[in-house]
Structure 1
Amino acid sequence: MVVHNIVTDRLIIIPMTYSMVCTVLSGSTEEYKKLGVNFNGKWPLQDTLDILHFIKDKMKKTDADGFDVWMVAKKEDMTVIGDAGFKGAPNENGEIEIGFGLIKEEQQKGYGYEVASSLMEWASQKNIVKVIKADCLIDNIPSIKLLKKCGMNEIKRDNEFIYWEKFTIY
């Protein structure tokens, strides 16, 4: 399955391949120069590197299907400002979990909503996805507002996290 970039008003959201993940983990930017993206030295975040180390071997065994990591670049200058994605393909109940992270300098500008809503729309178009889930820290007010704006509903909370979901079919 070929997964295409998602283009929004201000962003290009690029599905990362195994080769791209290996390039980021090696500290090189050669693979990305071929794509025409620029780096400002603030991405990847440590959380991103941790995720890439975790999923690298899985990605080697499968084709990119869009249910892993996507790189987020500003359309105006193709500078990478973050990443987003899913924590794997849908489970047997059609559930996936979304996550996203932007460099600090690009937060609070509406990019998070643009990324999250676009990826949720992309996933909703896949017949195998029935529910999109997310979680955020209980005191992360910007993420709470963003998830609500994306149409997600709080389903539970504990002392640390709020858990969210959105049904893709009704």
Structure 2
Amino acid sequence: MKLETERLEIIPCTEETAQIAEKQSYDNGPQISMSLEMLKADPTSLGWGAWLVIKKSDGQVIGDIGFKGNPNVDKQVEVGYGLLKEYWSKGYATEAVGAIIQWPFATGKVDAIIAETLSDNLGSMRVLEKLNMQRVGTSEQMVNWKLVK
């Protein structure tokens, strides 16, 4: 299972694929280890956790992306993503998120994708706007987003 874009390969985290990140000393937060724990507890959760974002040109892991668990009872799933800082503002996030949000809809298990961003994270908000996600709520610190199938 993998997704491909013009510049990226996006693969779900498993014990095997996580070794790629480990060999490159990639560490961008706890999402990969949390995803591996989720997968150990429920092997059917493959794809509903973290995925590695890899540049095709050199095999470098530049970030991780994915979902915060299986779809809920409302057939929604939350997307999250983070790239290493040196890859910001180069279109990689838009490319990766654009690819990954197609996958849950294709499974038939999801009717909507949700996301949240910090209210001062203008780059992340711009990524979601470019992908036609709609603002559905705000608080002092967060902006909530939704994309309906």
Q: State TM-score, norm by structure 1.
A: 0.81
Residue deviations 1:90-129 (CA, integer Å, cap 9, x gap): 0111010000111111110000000001000111212110
CA contact (8 A) 1:14 1:72 kept: yes
Name the residue aligned to 1:52.
32
Distance 1:80 1:52 in 2: 12
Compute the displacement of 1:19 (Å): 4.3
- Report sequence identity in percent: 31
Q: 1:7 and 2:4 equivalent?
A: yes
Q: What secondary structure is seen at the aligned counterpart in 2 of 1:125?
A: helix
Q: 1:99 is aligned with what amino acid?
A: G
Name the residue aligned to 2:74.
93
Name the residue aligned to 2:101.
120
Q: 1:54 is aligned with what amino acid?
A: M
CA contact (8 A) 2:39 2:46 kept: no
Distance 1:20 1:62 in 2: 17
Distance 2:22 2:105 in 1: 34
Structure 1 residues 28 and 108, CA gap change in structure 2 (3 angstroms): closer
CA contact (8 A) 2:48 2:68 kept: yes
5+ long unaligned stretches in structure 1: 30-38
Name the residue aligned to 1:160.
141
Q: State TM-score, norm by structure 2.
A: 0.91
Please tell me whether Structure 1 or Structure 2 has the larger radius of gyration of its CA atoms: 1
Name the residue aligned to 2:57.
76
- Number of residue equivalences: 148
CA contact (8 A) 1:18 1:59 kept: no
5+ long unaligned stretches in structure 2: none
CA contact (8 A) 1:102 1:112 kept: yes
Q: What secondary structure is seen at the aligned counterpart in 1 of 2:100?
A: helix
- How big is the alpha-carbon RMSD for the aligned residues of Structure 1 and Structure 2? 1.7
